[in-house]
């Protein structure tokens, strides 16, 4: 089982739609959680951190459920510019190294259609 799993999509949604992405992680020692956005042939860019209390940034809402080891991202009122691949990432201390290591899912591709 992969450490971080996401539905690869693609998700094709019309402009203005609401879309939700889910991600599960297997390592209960994971300590911090993120959503990254990656445009085609570009680097991943941090979209938002994810907290247990849930957090919102404009049209984007992220949620963490530690008990279920589940992370979600909700995008409301989708824009054409939201088309990208969304990567779930979890951070944990690497065994024996004492430093943090980020583990990514393969990403979920979103296409917002006019």
Partner 1 sequence: EAGVTQFPSHSVIEKGQTVTLRCDPISGHDNLYWYRRVMGKEIKFLLHFVKESKQDESGMPNNRFLAERTGGTYSTLKVQPAELEDSGVYFCASSQDTGIGGYTFGSGTRLTVV
Nearest residue (CB) to partner 1, 4 versus 71: 4
- Outline where DSSP puts E strands in the chain: 4-6, 11-14, 19-25, 32-38, 44-50, 55-57, 60-65, 70-75, 84-93, 100-104, 108-113
Q: Report in angstroms the alpha-carbon separations of 77 from 33, 70, 82, 88.
A: 24, 23, 10, 21
Nearest residue (CB) to partner 1, 14 versus 96: 96
Q: Apex CA 9: angle with CA 7 and CA 13, to 5°?
A: 130
Nearest residue (CB) to partner 1, 40 versus 67: 40
Nearest residue (CB) to partner 1, 4 versus 73: 4
**Min CB(42)–partner 1 separation in Å:** 7
The count of other CB atoms within 10 Å of the CB of residue 15 is 12
**Min CB(77)–partner 1 separation in Å:** 25
**Min CB(16)–partner 1 separation in Å:** 29
**Min CB(39)–partner 1 separation in Å:** 11
Residues that bind partner 1 (CB under 8 A): 2, 4, 31-32, 34, 41-46, 49, 87, 89, 91, 94, 96-107
């Amino acid at each position: 089982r992969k450490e971080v799993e996401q539905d690869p999509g693609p998700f094709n949604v019309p402009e203005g739609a609401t879309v939700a992405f889910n991600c599960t992680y297997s390592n209960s020692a994971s300590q911090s959680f993120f959503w990254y956005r990656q445009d085609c042939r570009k680097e991943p860019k941090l979209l938002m951190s994810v907290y247990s209390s849930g957090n919102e940034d404009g049209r984007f809402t992220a949620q963490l459920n530690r008990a279920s080891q589940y992370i979600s991202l909700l995008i409301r009122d989708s824009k054409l510019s939201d088309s990208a691949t969304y990567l779930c990432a979890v951070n944990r201390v690497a065994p024996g190294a004492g430093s943090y290591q980020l583990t990514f899912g393969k990403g979920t591709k979103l296409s917002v259609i006019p």
